[in-house]
Amino acid sequence: MSIYDITVPISPASPVWPDDPPVEFSLAESMDQGGQVNVTRISMSAHTGTHVDAPHHFLNDHRTVEAMSLEVLTGPCTVIQLPDDIDEITAEVLERTPIAAGTTRLLFGTRNSRLWAKNSQEFERDFVAVTEDGAQWLVANGIRLVGVDYLSVAPFEDSGPTHTVLLQAGVVILEGLDLSKVPRGFYDLYCLPLKLVGADGAPARAILIG
């Protein structure tokens, strides 16, 4: 049995979505400055690194991250590894990808996962993502949690449709995974977003056991 940490590190060097606030850590209290303890202050977007999107992110419906169901966020999970020549996860791609019947949690490893090893602060616009018809396929096939290995489930130039289809159907969106070291197969997923009251998303620690 192995534990795979599929969470990316969060630091001031983390890439962030264009125009999102950068990650900033500073010491609110510093022992080097004579303080009794070290206390780090954090400033960042709720959509930094490995994180979940709550419905409120795109639907403005006040279904926020603290109410997301742990029953969906944890449990049996399938990891698919798509070949490097796949640029978009469309309904057609999904139709010809073997996905076990009864799968409800699905993580897509793509060429995106290798971007994390570059340790680059630069946001990569040319990432593999799920198209609107891919999202419709996932909903129609009973998927309740979908995970991707870059900072958005949707193509960079067309964020709305994919997110809207998934979030309206109550599908949990898990973004910013590193699946570069995870063989395709079956695992147990533990995805635990911070319980940020009223927030449209939250960073999460995500691991696979299998």
Q: Catalytic residues, which ones?
A: 57
Toward Zn ion, which CB reaches closer, 136 or 152?
152
CB of 35 to Zn ion, least distance (A): 35
* CB proximity list for 71: less than 8 A, separation 6 or greater: none
Toward Zn ion, which CB reaches closer, 95 or 124?
124
Tokens 């971007």 sit at which residue?
A: 115
* CB proximity list for 24: less than 8 A, separation 6 or greater: 12, 41, 42, 43, 44
CB of 171 to Zn ion, least distance (A): 13
CB of 38 to Zn ion, least distance (A): 30
Q: Which residues bind Zn ion (CB under 5 A)?
A: 47, 53, 175, 201
CB 82 within 8 A of CB 121: no
Toward Zn ion, which CB reaches closer, 100 or 197?
197
Report how far residue 79's alpha carbon sits from residue 82's, in angstroms, rounded to the nearest whole number: 10
CB 82 within 8 A of CB 110: yes
